[in-house]
Amino acid sequence: MWLEVQNNRTRLIRGTDDEIEFLADYLAFEDNKGRFKRKSKSRREQKAQMFNIFDNSFPTGLLPLVRKAATRAEYQVQIKDVRVVPCLADWTEDIDWLDAIVPEGEDPYQLPAVQRAIERKRGILKLATGGGKTECAAAIATVLRCKWLFVAHRMNLAVQAGERFKKRTGEAFGIVGEGQWNIRRFTCATFQTLLARFKTPECQKLLRETEGVIFDESHVVGAESFWPIAQSMKNAYYRFGLSGTPLNRGDQRSALNVAAIGPVIYELKAGALIEKGVLSKATIRFSPLFQPVRAKTWSGVKGEAIIRSKKRNQLLLSLAKKATKPGFLFIDEINHGQMLVQQLQMAGISAELVWGKLTTPERNAAKRRLEHGDIDLIVCNVVFQEGIDVPSLRSVIVGCGGKSVIAALQRVGRGTRKDRDEEGNILKDTFEVWDIFDKGDEWLEKHSKERMSAYLREGYQTIMEQPKVNV
């Protein structure tokens, strides 16, 4: 088969019917969102189909996987690469600041990650939270001096990346979001702003002129609304994703992450970074809790066994008393958070609720009060699950349960960064995570097992213990 490679799509320009059938079969995957499904009685066409039968093309991010699979199936693959290389790597640029957090005597890992990215041209860097993903992004954009777009799904993440780039290079960065449209060689944007202004001339111009793109927390690329943005940068030759959990979506759409960017080309788990002395050693402690549940629907189970459960909330209160302060207590529902804050305060634990409706200044003020010791705990939801840096954080309590691998690892990542004083002395190199292993309901027990498996796969010490309190 002959494949013509472009930045977005790769097209079969010469192939047999058997080779077309192979591509159609190989490039089909489960997708419960159904964006790419075709209505057909065929088992294959009931799946999401990444091979376009009308022009015989597929997303270029899948090309490395297609070549390997075709070779295994004994098909010969010839490549015609028609992409235009916008710039070549300039290794004389100063990136000596890479691996500054690696203790003396340990092997570097950020420079090898950057070298691998530039060698492979596109792909995903799988680095655990605290591993320096934005450092790698800044280095890539320094060595490859073309027009870059850094895309995040939260404004604070986009701004943080821009500020890191400016700190390392001295070069100003552009920003797209929250009413700003300032384009520079390295521009940081949010998916939401790009989507809202997608059809405008200025947005189309930005996407058209982008020569390199970096997706932060790249697992979100598979979302229904974000996929069109990823497929609109037809001149983006260099494409990279940054994520500690790139292939852990719960809706089978991780394949779209690979399709838009490429496969994982570099990986370093939290356990390896702990061994290197880069991250604090996290210990996850599960407290088992059995509750007979009467509800038959998931919303009913969640309300009965998580939000309104006196037994479970009492256990959370006991864990909050044991946990080293300061800490985060994660919940999903605002009424659950309000209830827990009241109970914590009655127990003598100073706590505040941080929720999505609070402004960014209000959230930052609560974070400062936690860091200064004015409060012991912040009860929070997803708004503090990512993009928030509190090196002094000593513990996380998981009060919301849930099955999401991404959410589970992001919560742990909030406290794994080492805490140092102004002279660089380490103030914290261990970290606590308190979770509940729910039993008595099939959903809850399955979710608990999935969180535990996620912790173990990432290399965290994980312990099942019986709490020494009456619940």
Could you tell me if 232 and 327 lie in one domain? Answer: no
pTM of the model: 0.86
- Is 98 domain-assigned? no
Number of structural domains the chain divides into: 3
Could you tell me if 201 and 291 lie in one domain? Answer: no
Lookup: tokens for 374: 């004015």
Q: pLDDT band at residue 37, thresholds of 50, 70 and 90?
A: very low
Could you tell me if 69 and 118 lie in one domain? Answer: no
Asked whether the beta carbons of 394 and 325 are under 8 A apart, the reply is yes
- At 338-389, the pLDDT tens digits run 999 999 999 999 999 998 888 878 888 999 999 999 999 999 988 887 767 7
Could you tell me if 457 and 318 lie in one domain? Answer: yes
Q: Does residue 46 register a pLDDT over 70?
A: no
- Is 240 domain-assigned? yes
- Is 88 domain-assigned? no
Alpha helices in 121-183 (DSSP H): 133-143, 155-169
CATH number where 359 lies:
3.40.50.300
- Of 253, 272, 291, the last residue of a domain is 272
User: What CA–CA distance (Å, rounded) separates 122 from 52?
Assistant: 22
Question: What is the b/e burial string over 305-327, where b = at least 16 CB atoms within 10 angstroms of the residue's CB?
Answer: bbbebeebbebbbbbbeebebbb
Could you tell me if 298 and 381 lie in one domain? Answer: yes
Could you tell me if 52 and 196 lie in one domain? Answer: no
Strand order in the sheet with 122-127: 180-182, 174-177, 186-190, 148-152, 212-216, 238-243, 122-127, 264-268
Q: Does residue 94 register a pLDDT over 80?
A: yes
- Is 104 domain-assigned? no
- Of 61, 81, 101, the last residue of a domain is 81
Residue, of 409 and 397, whose pLDDT is higher: 397
- Is 384 domain-assigned? yes
Could you tell me if 413 and 435 lie in one domain? Answer: yes
- At 256-276, the pLDDT tens digits run 889 999 999 999 988 999 999
Could you tell me if 413 and 306 lie in one domain? Answer: yes
Lookup: tokens for 295: 């509800």
The average confidence (pLDDT) of the chain is 90
- Is 99 domain-assigned? no
Length, in residues, of the chain: 471
Domain hosting 345: range is: 280-464
In one-letter notation, the amino acid at residue 66 is: V
CATH number where 11 lies:
3.30.780.20
- Is 95 domain-assigned? no
Could you tell me if 306 and 203 lie in one domain? Answer: no
Helix H or strand E segment including 174: strand 174-177
- Is 449 domain-assigned? yes
Could you tell me if 237 and 373 lie in one domain? Answer: no
- At 287-310, the pLDDT tens digits run 999 999 999 999 999 999 999 999
pLDDT above 90: percentage of residues in the chain: 69
Could you tell me if 158 and 39 lie in one domain? Answer: no
- At 236-250, the pLDDT tens digits run 999 999 988 777 655
- Of 208, 237, 272, the last residue of a domain is 272
Q: What is the average pLDDT across 80-96?
A: 96
pLDDT above 70: percentage of residues in the chain: 93
Could you tell me if 310 and 409 lie in one domain? Answer: yes
Alpha-carbon dihedral of residues 54, 56, 60, 66, nearest 10 degrees?
Answer: 140
